[in-house]
Amino acid sequence: MTATQAIRTVAQGEHPPLQRSAEERRSRTRQRRTFWLLAAPAILGLFGSFVAPLLYMVRMAFNRGSSDGVIEETFTLDTFARAVEDPYYWKVTLDTFLMGLTVAVLCVIVAYPIALFLMRSQSRFKSVLIALAIAPLLTSAVVRTYGWMVILGGGGLINGTLIDLGLITIPLQLANNFTGVIIGLTEIFMPYAILAMMSGFGKLDPRLEEAAGSLGANRIRTFLKVTLPLSLPGALAAGLLVFVLAISTFVTPRLLGGGAVRVLATEIYDQATGLINWPFAAALSILLLLLFGAMIAGYQALVRKLGIDR
């Protein structure tokens, strides 16, 4: 019995009910005060850093802006109307969506083998391999994107090698377009996909595969009939997570896109800093938040479902 338990038992057992409730009430008030006192600085910090900016941004979206930076304080749906009426923003939104979808699918495909391997591995180096798979998360996205610019660029690794080998004469257009951005983002979100799949693969029991094997199924059949169906929910959760991250990312589309890739995030930046049309930038952010929120809700519903199933 710990000291806490002892004190609690004594407190509950020995005192008459009336006295206890008065004492308890006093102690509860004191507890509550300490709680809010301890939590207050963080609440304040988060308010200034996060809540106030978001609220202010929502309010800003209902103002009227113009490209010369003048903001008219009002309450109108003009900015939203502009975003909806202009076919250009439909295309940007669609491109953002398609980019997210492609990255999500590719990312799950390349991350899947690593996640499966790490679930199964009994290697001595397993923890090192797990760390190696997650570690890129803690490296700046700017640095990793730069690495992809070096690999995919006009004079980069792939083009340089192919030209040296005499296979091509004109460099392939691998960067400054959606292709480059999609390749880069696929790699950048792999650690997230691996983490999500490893926690989603809970139901995957190697004994089921052994059973399939001993019942005469070959490896490919075992994979298709046992492993794949059981790991599909985890893969789907990972895909949703990557999709959500991909549609809101800025650095990689900006750098690897070289100005040719227009997605919601780059559009928000241009509206906010280049054109200084804050109401419109805010409206586009709300558009992004809606897309984002719908997918996050889907992701959490899926995770909850997986949790219950397990």
Partner 1 sequence: MTASAPAPFKKRVDGGAMAFRVIVALSYLFLLAPLLIVVVIAFSSNQYLSFPPEGFTLRWFAELPQQAGFMQGLQTSLITASAATLIVLVIGVSAALALDRYDVPGKAALSSFFLSPLLVPTIVIALGLVLVLGPLGLTNTYESIVLGHIGITLPYVVRTTLMSLATSDTSCEEAARVLGANAFTVFRRVTLPIIRPGVIAGGVIAFIVSFDEAVISLFVAESGRPTLPVQILRYVEYSADAAVAALSVVLIVFSAVVVVVVERLMGLKRTLA
HSE-up of 201 (CA within 13 Å, CB side)? 24
Alpha helices in 122-205 (DSSP H): 126-134, 141-152, 157-164, 178-188, 190-200
**Residue 202 within binding range of partner 1, rule CB under 8 A:** no
Asked whether 182 and 107 are in contact (CB, 8 A), the reply is no
Q: Which stretch binds partner 1 (CB under 8 A): 73-81, 91-99, 165-173, 243-251?
A: 243-251
For partner 1, which is the closer residue by CB, 111 or 236?
111
45 contributes a contact to partner 1 by CB under 8 A: yes
Q: Which of 104, 233, 278, 302 binds partner 1 (CB under 8 A)?
A: 278
The span from the CA of 174 to the CA of 181, in Å, is: 9
Q: Between residue 93 and residue 152, which ones bind partner 1 under the rule CB under 8 A?
A: 110-111, 113-114, 117, 120-125, 127, 130-151
Instruction: Compute CA 69 distance to the chain's CA centroid, rounded to the nearest angstrom.
Output: 32
We find the least distance from the C-beta atom of residue 140 to partner 1, in angstroms, to be 4
Secondary structure element (H or E) that encloses residue 291, with its range: helix 278-309
Q: Are the beta carbons of 265 and 288 closer than 8 angstroms?
A: yes
Q: Which C-beta is closer to partner 1: that of 98 or that of 147? A: 147
Size of the site for partner 1 (CB under 8 A): 98
Contacts with partner 1, 64-103, as mask; x by CB under 8 A: ----------------------------------------
Q: What is the Cα gyration radius of the chain?
A: 27
How many whole angstroms separate alpha carbon 238 and alpha carbon 300? 11
Q: Using the minimum distance from each CB to partner 1, give the nearer residue, 178 or 227.
A: 227
With CB under 8 A as the contact rule, the residue among 14, 16, 17, 49 that binds partner 1 is 49
Q: How far is the CB of 94 from partner 1 (least distance, A)?
A: 18
